[in-house]
């Protein structure tokens, strides 16, 4: 089996919105969510969260085209009720986009890959460091089981898929390295604004990935 490699696109919402509270922490675990809004893409979610003050947020939205980071992983977000968990302070919130015209197969591949990337980057154990939203707030939430179940997957299947992908990453040496906000030795930055077309930036990122870097396409360096 060949491991997947994808670009992580950083398109950050404005700091003026109250659902981007800031902070500078080292994440301790990740929470798996689904959007619950069938057919909404990662880009549509960015536009929604970047247009108004909200009482909720997440770090990353994933569909069949993009792994879209809208809030830096080192910052806090509001993705789990604070009454039931410390996830807002310490966890990375990752949302799966599904349904409608979104290809489940491609979106799920990216979802699994990103969680395996997190586990490799932060040296996490998938079983211990990935929580489902439904586990943290069982009285109110069922995600990401909502999306997984309708596509023939259980949460246990998802964790196993992450473990399998993580082993592939380790075996094939994909060049995934620990995140260090002050020093990013193996991250190759591609500024979309420097290219006439987004496709050219994505092509440059893919070349960087093949060269052994983790390519992150930066859309807005100033955010």
Domain ranges for the chain, please list them.
8-179
Inform me whether the pLDDT recorded for 211 exceeds 60: no
Q: Higher pLDDT residue, 5 or 11?
A: 11
Check residue 35 and give its pLDDT.
Answer: 98
Rounded mean pLDDT of 121-138?
97
Which pair of tokens denotes residue 169?
């990453």
Question: pLDDT for 171-198, tens place per residue?
Answer: 886 544 333 333 333 445 555 555 556 6
Inform me whether the pLDDT recorded for 201 exceeds 60: yes
Rounded mean pLDDT of 91-119?
97
Check residue 34 and give its pLDDT.
Answer: 98
Question: pLDDT for 22-61, tens place per residue?
Answer: 999 999 999 999 999 999 999 999 999 999 999 999 999 9
Domain 8-179 has CATH 3.40.80.10: yes
Check residue 218 and give its pLDDT.
Answer: 46
Question: pLDDT for 141-180, tens place per residue?
Answer: 999 999 999 999 999 999 999 999 999 988 886 544 333 3
Check residue 190 and give its pLDDT.
Answer: 55
Distance of CA 126 to the CA centre of its chain: 15
Q: Higher pLDDT residue, 173 or 114?
A: 114
Question: pLDDT for 65-101, tens place per residue?
Answer: 999 999 999 999 999 999 999 999 999 999 999 999 9
Check residue 171 and give its pLDDT.
Answer: 85
């Amino acid at each position: 089996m060949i491991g997947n490699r994808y670009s992580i696109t950083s398109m950050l919402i404005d700091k003026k919105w109250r659902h981007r509270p800031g902070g500078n922490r080292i994440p301790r675990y990740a929470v798996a969510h689904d959007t619950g809004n069938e057919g909404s893409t990662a880009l549509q979610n960015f536009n929604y969260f970047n247009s108004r003050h909200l009482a909720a947020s997440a770090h990353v939205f994933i569909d069949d085209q993009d792994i879209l980071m809208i809030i830096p992983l080192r910052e806090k977000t509001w993705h789990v009720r604070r009454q039931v968990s410390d996830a807002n302070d310490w966890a990375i919130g990752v949302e799966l986009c599904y349904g409608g015209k979104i290809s489940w197969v491609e979106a799920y591949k990216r979802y699994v890959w990103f969680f395996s990337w997190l586990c490799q980057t932060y040296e996490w154990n998938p079983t211990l460091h990935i929580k489902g939203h439904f586990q943290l707030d069982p009285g109110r939430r069922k995600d990401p089981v909502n999306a997984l179940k309708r596509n023939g997957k259980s949460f246990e299947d998802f964790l196993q898929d992450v473990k399998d992908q993580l082993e592939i990453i380790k075996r094939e040496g994909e060049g995934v390295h620990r995140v260090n906000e002050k020093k990013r030795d193996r991250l190759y930055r591609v500024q979309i604004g420097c290219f006439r077309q987004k496709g050219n930036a994505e092509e440059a990122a893919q070349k960087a990935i093949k060269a052994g870097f983790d390519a992150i396409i930066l859309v807005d360096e100033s955010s």
